[in-house]
Structures are given as C-alpha cells and as structure tokens.
Amino acid sequence: MLMKTRVVSPLDVADQSAADLSGLMRDHRNSRCRNMLWLGCSCIFALPQVGFADSYRMDTPSWYAGASVGESRLSLDTSQLERDMQAQGLPLASLSRNTNDTGYKLFAGFTLNDYLALEGGYFRLGEVDFSAVTAAAPNGSTYPLAGHLRDQGANLDLVARMLLSSAFAVTARLGLTYNDTDSRLDYQRPINLDQYDRSKHYLKHKFGAGLEYQLTPAWGMRLELERYRLDDLWGDQGDMKLLSLGLVYQYGQHTAYAEPTAAPTPTATPEPYADPPASTPAAPDAAPVLIELADVHFQFNQSALTPAAKTILAQHVATLKAQPDSRVQIAGYTSASGTDAYNQQLSERRAQAVQDYLTKEGGLTPARLTSIGYGEASPAEVENKPSELRSSAAMANMRVLFRLLLQ
C-alpha cells in the first residue's frame, strides 16, 4: 500500500464539531444499509415456504452474472501503532475507530457442474478510518493522528456448492484478489511514522461461505459472508469482511416441461362393419385401447403432491368418470440419486399418493386403479450422470406416469 505522510501545524487540525457531524452522517448511512441487509436476510429464510416447481432445472455448464451489496467491516489492530507512539514518548490518549461502511461486488461465473463453479469480478469494500490524539508532551502540547483506508480490486474464486434441495444450496469459496488500496496516515512532527510506507497494488487471498436460493430457473438469490485479506496497514495484518445479499441471473435456463394442459377426453370411435351371417361365429372382443394421460411431477426427494399436480389429477378424474369401464395403471419413478432401496420406497410412495388422491378426493373406485413403483431398476429415462440432480433425465424421473386402458 502507498502510505502518504503530511506535516501540518497545529492550526491545520480539523475542527472537532465538523468531524463529529461527518461521523454521525456515516453512522446513519451504515445503519440504513444494515437494516436493508437484515431485511433481505429475513426474506431469504422465508422463501423456502414458497413451493419450488419441480419442472425447473439447471443445465450445466452455464454462465451466470450478478451483483451483491452489503456491509463491510475492517478488522483493525492498532497495537503496533500504539507501541511505536509509546516508544517516541508520545503515547495515545484517545483512539476512535470507524471501521464499517457499505461494500458491493459485481461478478460473473461459469458453472462446471452442479457442485463447482469459477467466478470472477470486481469488488469495492468501502472506506474506513480512525483518529487519535496523543497525551500531552513535556512541552504541554498534544498532537493529532488520523488514518484513512479505501480498498477495491478484482477477484477470481473457485466456488463449491452442496445442494440441500432442488432450490436450496450451501456454498463455500476460496479465491485470489488483486487489491488496489489507497491508505494514508496524517500526522505532524514530532510524530515519526515514515516506516509505514507500502505499495498499494498487491495480490492476496479471500474465502467465504453462503446460502443460495433458486427463485426461478433463471433468477437466484444469495447471502454471503466473505473475508478479504489485506496487506500490512498500520503495523498490523488487516482483514475486511463483507456480509452481502445479491441477485444472480443464469443465462439460458428454462423450464424442463411445458405448462400442464387439460388431458384430452378419450372418445371411442367404433369401426363400421357389416352384420355377419347367422352361421358365422361371433367376432372376439376388441383389444383394449391404451391412452397415456398427462404425467404428474414431484419435487426432489418428495412424495407430496404439488398444487400443479393436483390440477392435473383433477382433470384426470373428470376423464376417468367419463369412462367408467376403464382401468388405470399408475407408475411411480425417482431420479437415480440415492440408494436403490430408498428410491424404490420413494417411487412407491409417489404412486400411492396419486392413487389416494384419485380415490379420496376424486371418488374413484379403488378396484379400477393399479399402482407400482419402479425405483432405479426401470427408470422413465436413463440418467447417464446420476450426480447431476437437475439434468433433464433426473427431472423426468421425478414423476408418476398414467396409462388408461379402454375396453
């Protein structure tokens, strides 16, 4: 960091009332930023109560970009500075710190898979300062001392993601930063702090953790706490923390399935035929007609019916009541993530949930319904990469299929 020194006379000391007013204004700005940040944090923890449609998926690899804003805080240790002043016979009588400010970052990234991403961007951690006054010297004089710091730069991070559900993820990051730090010490003779002279451009590291919530296939929200390592400041190794809330836009995301439409009502169209002669034996019964109805999707690792699923099932009830002699095959499926035994049970629970709705809510006769769970043994679609929880094949297996048999 570049440390700039300046020799001033006692007449150059800033008016204390103006300094107090500036501090009050900055405190008000920090308080407003802090209130907005905690309001956003409350919102992100309330969001899981909103249903996340299982038809959303993240295609990997893909690009994303976003912005975050929050509160930054400098971990400032002035113990070495105080010792230097004591050694000069000018111990500090008072010291005040203003180490909080508003910080933000702009970023873009590339998802390698559902678990890793590379992310780079620009950050600005705000401005912080401190002020001090020495004890009276032998001649009775006191001397002011002040420091000011502003930090910004660019970063490149490796981001790890652990999915908790189809919408929620925990993240951790480790990165390299290129810092542009402008810091200065303002003091007057006989104070001598010329040894604090550092370059203002340097490489350091950072790390952090956070939460992500997928609002839609394209938009997400993230809450993060990061720690930026700075170069030597005023006799200490400084750290700046940034607690931020941001929005992320993922390019090229879309829904895996079309919006549900009303299931068609099958109509039997008899084939024209001539009356057989009396001596001709009766024709055998016609083969059953197989009709596939719209399927029902579930959330990841869930067997509860979503509102969209119930809408489709209500349409099926009307279709089945119009065909009282028909029979229904209900087949439950799961994605390949998890053990065989667990997925078998999950597929059976999904099929049973659909059958319960058709009989209890729809009033259909249980004898007309047949349900089965296929688990991983017979997937609706083969998953080449079971670890990708949001692939099109995995999403296709989070469902129940219907087959209607008409006599």
CATH number for the domain spanning 388: value is 3.30.1330.60
Is the same domain home to 293 and 245?
no
Is the same domain home to 137 and 45?
yes
Q: Pick the more confident residue, 270 or 129.
A: 129
Inside any domain, residue 355: yes
Inside any domain, residue 266: no
Q: Pick the more confident residue, 275 or 134.
A: 134
| Measured CA distances, 279 to 275, 276, 282, 285 (Å) | 11, 8, 9, 18
What is the percent of the chain with per-residue pLDDT over 90, rounded to a whole number? Answer: 25
Mean pLDDT of 112-140: 90
Q: What is the pLDDT confidence band of residue 406, given thresholds at 50, 70 and 90?
A: low
Which residues have a Cβ under 8 Å from the Cβ of 206 and sit 6 or more positions away?
155, 157, 173, 174, 175, 176, 177, 226, 227, 228, 229
3-state secondary structure the chain: CEEECCCCCHHHCCCHHHHHHHHHHHHHHHHHHHHHHHHHHHHHHHHHHCCCCCCECCCCCEEEEEEEEEEEEEECCCHHHHHHHHHCCCCEEEEEEECEEEEEEEEEEEECCCCEEEEEEEEEEEEEEEEEEECCCCCCCCCEEEEEEEEEEEEEEEEEEEECCCCEEEEEEEEEEEEEEEEEEEECCCCCCCCCCCCCEEEEEEEEEEEEEECCCCEEEEEEEEEEEEEECCCCEEEEEEEEEEEEEECCCCECCCCCCCCCCCCCCCCCCCCCCCCCCCCCCCCCEEEEEEEEECCCCCCCCCHHHHHHHHHHHHHHHHCCCCEEEEEECCCCCCCHHHHHHHHHHHHHHHHHHHHHHCCCCHHHEEEEECCCCCCCCCCCCCCCCCCHHHHHCCEEEEEEEEC
Q: What is the pLDDT confidence band of residue 9, given thresholds at 50, 70 and 90?
A: very low
Structure confidence by residue, pLDDT tens digits, 160-205: 999 887 688 999 999 999 999 888 888 888 988 887 766 688 899 9
- Give the pLDDT of residue 75: 84
Please determine, for residue 11, whether its predicted confidence score (pLDDT) is greater than 70: no
- Give the pLDDT of residue 248: 95
Please determine, for residue 232, whether its predicted confidence score (pLDDT) is greater than 60: yes
Inside any domain, residue 269: no
Partnered with residue 370 across adjacent β-strands are 329
Query: Among 220, 250, 280, which residue terminates a domain?
Result: 250
- Give the pLDDT of residue 58: 42
Q: Pick the more confident residue, 274 or 231.
A: 231
Inside any domain, residue 270: no
Cα angle for residues 153, 156, 158 (degrees, 5° grid): 145
Q: Pick the more confident residue, 255 or 37.
A: 37
**Whole-number Å distance between alpha carbons of 74 and 174:** 19
Average pLDDT, the chain: 74
Inside any domain, residue 183: yes
Inside any domain, residue 257: no
Q: Pick the more confident residue, 85 or 44.
A: 85
Mean pLDDT of 91-106: 92
| CATH code, domain carrying 224 | 2.40.160.20
Is the same domain home to 31 and 96?
yes
Query: Among 250, 276, 303, which residue terminates a domain?
Result: 250
Query: Which of 198-212, 262-276, 359-373 holds the top average pLDDT?
Result: 198-212
Structural domains in the chain (count): 2
Which residues have a Cβ under 8 Å from the Cβ of 161 and sit 6 or more positions away?
114, 115, 116, 117, 169, 170, 171, 212
Structure confidence by residue, pLDDT tens digits, 287-343: 555 555 667 777 777 778 888 878 888 888 888 888 777 788 888 787 766 677 877
- Give the pLDDT of residue 47: 45
Q: Are strands 237-250 and 289-297 parallel, antiparallel or unpaired?
A: unpaired
Mean pLDDT of 28-32: 53
Is the same domain home to 162 and 84?
yes
- Give the pLDDT of residue 396: 67
Phi/psi region, residue 160 (left: phi>0; alpha: psi -120 to 50; beta: rest), is beta
Cβ atoms of 104 and 67 within 8 Å: the answer is yes
- Give the pLDDT of residue 290: 52
Is the same domain home to 76 and 204?
yes
Inside any domain, residue 218: yes
What is the percent of the chain with per-residue pLDDT over 70, rounded to a whole number? Answer: 65
Please determine, for residue 98, whether its predicted confidence score (pLDDT) is greater than 60: yes
Query: Which of 94-103, 234-243, 255-264 holds the top average pLDDT?
Result: 94-103
- Give the pLDDT of residue 230: 87
**Whole-number Å distance between alpha carbons of 328 and 320:** 8
Q: Pick the more confident residue, 9 or 207.
A: 207
Inside any domain, residue 338: yes
Is the same domain home to 228 and 301?
no
Structure confidence by residue, pLDDT tens digits, 266-288: 444 444 444 444 444 444 444 55
| pTM given for the model | 0.54
Is the same domain home to 342 and 209?
no
Task: Give me the domain span that covers residue 222.
Answer: 2-250
Is the same domain home to 306 and 199?
no
Q: Are strands 327-332 and 100-111 parallel, antiparallel or unpaired?
A: unpaired
Of the listed ranges 36-45, 52-61, 96-105, 150-159, the least confidently predicted one is 52-61
Mean pLDDT of 142-171: 90
- Give the pLDDT of residue 121: 97
**Whole-number Å distance between alpha carbons of 123 and 69:** 10
Of the listed ranges 99-103, 259-263, 373-377, the least confidently predicted one is 259-263
Is the same domain home to 164 and 305?
no
Query: Among 195, 223, 250, which residue terminates a domain?
Result: 250
Mean pLDDT of 365-378: 79
Is the same domain home to 131 and 240?
yes
Is the same domain home to 314 and 175?
no
Is the same domain home to 90 and 151?
yes
- Give the pLDDT of residue 256: 38
